[in-house]
Amino acid sequence: MANHWMKDRLKAVPLFRELSDYELDSLVAISHVRVYKPRTFVFMQGDPLERVYFIHSGTVKIYKTDFSGKEQIVSILQTGEMFPHAGFFLKGTYPAHAEVVEEATLIAIPIHDFEQVLMASPELCIKLFRVMGEKIVDLQNRLEAQVLHNTYEQIVLLLLRLTRTNAVKQGKWHRLTAHVTNRELANMIGTARETVSRTLSQLKRKGLINVDEHGFYLIDQEGLEKEIFF
């Protein structure tokens, strides 16, 4: 029963969706389920890199800190996503903190065992490289935004990115599926919380964003694209 449950959970992960039963069985044998409460760490920046994680449910924030403790949010991850995205076939440390935002059920796989599965499954290896390539492109786009756009435009671009990664469509709106504070938005692009607050107020007055009764941001994706690209 436990193996059947684990196999179903693994099938729900996009990376594993098209694997054969035999390939899934090899993953089931090395997978473990862990449940984390909000505000607990899955790992911390600098810890030995020992496991790769896949999110069955919940929300996990990935962020880095500098020597002064300043936070730079890398991503907000939700159901079906994996982390970390780097460090395979290398002995190293976790490059960032992974903190649970909403209670999370994670599938944990020892990194060495996962590497063995990758070597035995070229198709899975290609899929993983594709995911890692998408992350690299995303980081390049963020760097470009910081270099070529002012702060107002960076915030608009951030909201547009969140509509692609952490949102569901509701009529003309994209509703974010994760609660994010103004401070967290600021930490995603390295600006001040007050700057984000002012910009969000402007966007609300223009009817380009709103907040629903549960505190989730509603974003007019088409309107924001016109705001910055036209």
Domain span including residue 196? 149-229
- Is 36 among the domain residues? yes
pLDDT category of residue 174 using cuts at 50, 70 and 90: very high
Residues 172 and 104 in one domain: no
Give the max Cα distance, the chain. 55
Q: Which residue has the higher pLDDT, 20 or 188?
A: 188
| Alpha carbons 208 and 95: distance in angstroms, whole number | 35
Model confidence pLDDT, tens digit, residues 88-136: 777 789 999 999 999 999 999 999 999 898 888 888 888 888 888 888 8
Q: What confidence score (pLDDT) does residue 2 get?
A: 64
Where do we find the tokens 């790769």?
52
Per-residue pLDDT averaged across 148-163, rounded?
Answer: 92
Residues 60 and 169 in one domain: no
Nearest-CA neighbor of 114 among 57, 32, 44, 59? 32
Per-residue pLDDT averaged across 190-212, rounded?
Answer: 95
pTM: 0.83
| Alpha carbons 123 and 39: distance in angstroms, whole number | 36
- Helices 182-189 & 122-148 angle (0-180, nearest 10): 90
Q: Comparing 17-26, 101-110, 153-162, 217-226, which segment has the lowest mean pLDDT?
A: 17-26
Q: Please, are residues 136 and 86 in contact by the beta-carbon 8 Å criterion?
A: no
Model confidence pLDDT, tens digit, residues 76-86: 999 999 999 87
Per-residue pLDDT averaged across 161-166, rounded?
Answer: 92
Q: In CATH, what number is assigned to the domain containing residue 108?
A: 2.60.120.10
Last residue of a domain, one of 80, 101, 135: 135
- Is 141 among the domain residues? no
Residue 48, preceding bond cis, omega within 30 degrees? no
Last residue of a domain, one of 76, 107, 135: 135
Q: What confidence score (pLDDT) does residue 208 get?
A: 96
Start-to-end C-alpha separation, the chain:
55
| Alpha carbons 180 and 175: distance in angstroms, whole number | 12
| Alpha carbons 153 and 93: distance in angstroms, whole number | 34
pLDDT category of residue 230 using cuts at 50, 70 and 90: low
Residues 60 and 164 in one domain: no
| Alpha carbons 71 and 63: distance in angstroms, whole number | 7
pLDDT at 186 > cutoff 80: yes
Q: Residue 113: CB partners within 8 Å, gap ≥ 6? A: 30
Model confidence pLDDT, tens digit, residues 17-58: 878 888 888 899 999 999 999 999 999 999 999 999 999 999
- Is 143 among the domain residues? no
Model confidence pLDDT, tens digit, residues 64-78: 988 888 889 999 999
Nearest-CA neighbor of 112 among 98, 97, 92? 92
